[in-house]
């Protein structure tokens, strides 16, 4: 009976979801350990997200994998470039067309807030999507 019931179900429809973070992102603000960085530091950087892949261009090019978890958490794994073999734990939010990512560069725990003050291994970047 089970085989007949399973055989009678209609064709399965593929569900396609687009990652709302896909695109090219340009930093508009950055800080580390509670100190805001000058635009000269990040003015030529860009982040490209394509589903679970990222490319970050700064002084060099970094590529890797992003895994998304519940509660807007990210696990970032460097595969090419200066961060090859590194893991960063991060939280993110997308509000008012800005993507804010707070990274724990030590990778040992997720930040619990979008705050870097008194946290020397916490780095935060605010991005605007490039049109």
Domain boundaries, the chain: 19-129
Query: What Rg, from alpha-carbon coordinates, does the chain have?
Result: 18
Q: Measure Cα distances from 129 to 6, 37, 57, 117 in Å.
A: 45, 20, 15, 26
Model confidence, pTM: 0.84
Could you confirm whether domain 19-129 is CATH 3.30.1950.10? no
Q: Measure Cα distances from 94 to 19, 43, 62, 126 in Å.
A: 12, 21, 22, 10
Q: Tens digit of pLDDT per residue, the chain (131 long)?
A: 333 333 444 444 444 445 899 999 999 999 999 999 999 999 999 999 999 999 999 999 999 999 999 889 999 999 999 999 999 999 999 999 999 999 999 999 999 999 999 999 999 999 999 98
CB-CB contact of 57 with 80 (8 Å): no
């Amino acid at each position: 009976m089970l085989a007949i019931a399973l055989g009678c179900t209609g064709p399965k429809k593929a569900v396609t979801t687009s990652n709302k973070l896909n695109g090219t992102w340009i930093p508009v603000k950055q800080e580390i350990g509670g100190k805001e960085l000058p635009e000269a530091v990040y003015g030529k950087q860009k982040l490209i997200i394509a589903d679970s892949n990222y490319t970050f261009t700064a002084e060099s090019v970094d590529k890797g994998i992003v895994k998304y978890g519940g509660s807007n958490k990210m696990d970032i794994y460097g595969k090419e470039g200066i961060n090859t073999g590194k893991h960063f734990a991060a939280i993110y939010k997308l509000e008012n067309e800005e993507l804010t990512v707070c990274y724990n560069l030590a990778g040992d725990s997720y930040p619990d807030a979008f705050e870097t003050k008194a946290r020397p291994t916490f780095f935060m970047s605010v991005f605007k999507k490039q049109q």
